[in-house]
């Protein structure tokens, strides 16, 4: 097995070769600096990946697939040397160029040889990495959720305004053609006045067991993996993926999958912040290191009497309206259901199917890495057009932060064990000191995110 020390040595050599323009580079035979002098090259978008294990590797392939639309993946960064090597190969196999490899995003961001980044790190790194990228002058494609805690949402919004960068958030459904059309039909009154929205996600996840405190593996820079999070000992059942279920780094199923579907409800119902949030549920299925709820039912109540709910079952397979994940919006004339993919069904007030819109571009249930590969390109292209032409983003940061904040409020209500009241204008917690303590987190000294 390759050690991290060997990887760093290879990366250093490889970067030196690329920068001299002898081989490799953004295009074969060109260095990054000479590439910029090619006529029309400025129309290309050079993008670097931050966090390329699993979902990040899928994004690397996805952006590499956009070669014909002028996208070049130039750099890959991860604290896992194996993930870097895999993603480099993914880009090479897909687009024919070999990106540079990096371990430390701070050093990579010093380069002027790329224009944008995509970020698919663990949740506790999302906002700090996006902030660093904007400060370095890069546009950002940020996987959901926007942040680990609500305080980071405002920090990101302030940074976007200060640094003038384009930030697209990975709520890809906002770019899927049939989902967009479904929202247009709702706006035009196909189900009448919408008063209730239900969202859900079911999966059958296994136990994560009890981890052992041990030395980090050679392929992992554990200190950089923790980054802004206060330091704790390495456990052998956290990296990769199981960090989702630990509050120290993750945000549970609510932000892992719930944000996608709560975002659809907000979009379809044209809602921002609620007046109160309730959450019930617990960890029922295993006795292990999993902290977040595996079963959660959340109710968002709005000032005009409308209601949204989010239901998750992380350890049971089931269906609602024939879908393991999705949303149903209920109106005065009927209902509309959008499953996990690019399709929807419309029912009348008697639950009779009156319209069905299918798609061969589907959501692959159970695919944790890239369940929507055939659809993500729509979202990528919108990101490119925003950078090149000033096109309106389909999932702008301000909207995505609102959806993130709703499910963060749900987790706060869950953790304090009671309903929390919310200011519907700002989305902030009202008159609850204990709940308000969870609005932000503690950071490792020297790692505090700042504008």
Tens of pLDDT, residue by residue over 266-301, are 999 999 999 999 999 999 999 999 999 999 999 999
pLDDT per residue over 344-379, tens digit each? 999 999 999 999 999 765 444 444 444 455 689 999
Which structure tokens are listed for 79? Answer: 């604290």
Pair of tokens at residue 71: 């996208």
310: left (phi over 0), alpha (psi -120 to 50) or beta: beta
Residue 40: per-residue pLDDT: 37
- What is the distance between the alpha carbons of residues 446 and 251, in angstroms, rounded to a whole number? 23
| pLDDT value of residue 313 | 97
Interstrand relation of 307-313 and 194-204 (parallel, antiparallel or unpaired)? parallel
* pLDDT at position 375: 86
Whole-number pLDDT of residue 41: 42
Q: Check residue 353 and give its pLDDT.
A: 97
Please write the tens of the pLDDT for every residue from 207-221: 999 999 999 999 999
Centre a 10 Å sphere on the Cβ of residue 97 and count the other Cβ atoms it contains.
Answer: 19
Q: Which of 119, 167, 151, 115 is nearest to 136 (CA)?
A: 115
Q: Which residues pair with 320 in a beta bridge?
A: 323
SS3 of residue 88 by DSSP: helix
- Total-model pTM: 0.89
The CA radius of gyration of the chain, in Å to the nearest whole number, is 22
pLDDT digits (tens, 9 = 90+) for 291-341: 999 999 999 999 999 999 999 999 999 999 999 999 999 999 999 999 999
* Cβ–Cβ < 8 Å for 89, 96: no
Contacts of 333 by beta carbon, 8 Å cutoff, 6+ apart: 189, 190, 191, 192, 348, 349
**Residue 430 to residues 11, 309, 408, 419, Cα–Cα distance (Å):** 50, 21, 15, 11
Cα–Cα dist 361/409, whole Å: 33
Quick one: 390 exposed, middle or buried, by C-beta within 10 A (0-12, 13-18, 19+)?
exposed
Instruction: Give all domains of the chain, ordered by start, each with its CATH number.
Output: 4-173 (3.40.50.720), 175-370+394-439 (3.30.360.10)
Q: How many CB atoms lie within 10 A of CB 447?
A: 13
Given a cut of 50, the residues of the chain with pLDDT beneath it are 1, 11-41, 362-371
* CA dihedral sign of residues 403, 409, 412, 418: negative
* pLDDT value at residue 359: 79
């Amino acid at each position: 097995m390759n050690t991290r020390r060997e990887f760093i040595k290879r990366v250093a050599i490889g970067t030196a070769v690329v920068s001299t323009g002898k081989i490799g580079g953004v295009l074969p035979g060109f260095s990054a600096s000479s590439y910029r002098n090619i006529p029309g090259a400025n129309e290309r978008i050079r993008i670097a990946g931050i966090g390329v294990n699993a979902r990040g590797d899928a994004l690397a392939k996805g952006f590499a697939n956009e070669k014909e639309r002028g996208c070049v993946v130039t750099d890959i960064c991860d604290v896992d040397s194996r993930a870097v090597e895999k993603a480099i190969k993914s880009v090479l196999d897909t687009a024919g160029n070999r990106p540079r490899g990096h371990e430390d995003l701070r050093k990579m961001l010093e380069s002027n040889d790329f224009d944008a980044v995509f970020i698919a790190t663990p949740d506790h790194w999302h906002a700090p990495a996006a902030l660093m990228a904007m400060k370095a002058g890069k546009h950002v494609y940020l996987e959901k959720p926007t942040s680990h805690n609500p305080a980071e949402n405002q920090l990101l919004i302030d940074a976007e305004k200060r640094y003038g960068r384009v930030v697209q958030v990975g709520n890809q459904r906002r770019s899927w053609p049939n989902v967009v059309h479904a929202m247009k039909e709702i706006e035009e009154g196909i189900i009448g006045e919408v008063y209730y929205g239900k969202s859900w996600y079911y999966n059958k996840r296994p136990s994560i067991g009890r981890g052992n405190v041990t030395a980090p593996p050679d392929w992992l820079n554990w200190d950089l993996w923790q980054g802004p999070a206060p330091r704790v000992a390495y456990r052998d059942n956290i990296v990769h993926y199981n960090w989702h279920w630990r509050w120290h780094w993750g945000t549970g199923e609510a932000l892992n999958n719930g944000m996608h579907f709560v975002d659809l409800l907000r979009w379809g119902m044209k809602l921002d912040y609620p007046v109160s949030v309730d959450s019930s549920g617990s960890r029922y299925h295993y006795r292990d290191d999993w902290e977040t709820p595996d079963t959660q039912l959340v109710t968002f109540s709005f000032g005009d009497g409308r209601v949204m709910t989010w239901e998750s079952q992380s350890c049971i397979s089931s269906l609602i309206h024939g879908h393991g994940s999705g949303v149903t919006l209920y109106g005065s004339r009927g209902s509309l259901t959008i499953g996990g993919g690019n399709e929807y069904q419309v029912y009348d007030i008697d639950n009779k199917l009156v319209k069905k819109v299918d798609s061969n571009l589907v959501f692959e249930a159970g695919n944790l890495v890239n369940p929507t590969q055939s659809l993500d390109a729509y979202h990528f292209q919108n990101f490119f057009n925003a950078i090149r032409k000033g096109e309106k983003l389909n999932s702008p940061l301000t909207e995505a932060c609102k959806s993130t904040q709703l499910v963060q409020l749900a987790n706060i209500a869950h953790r304090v064990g009671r309903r929390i009241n919310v200011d519907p204008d700002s989305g902030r917690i009202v008159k609850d000191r204990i709940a308000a303590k969870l609005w932000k987190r503690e950071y490792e000294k020297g790692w505090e995110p700042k504008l």
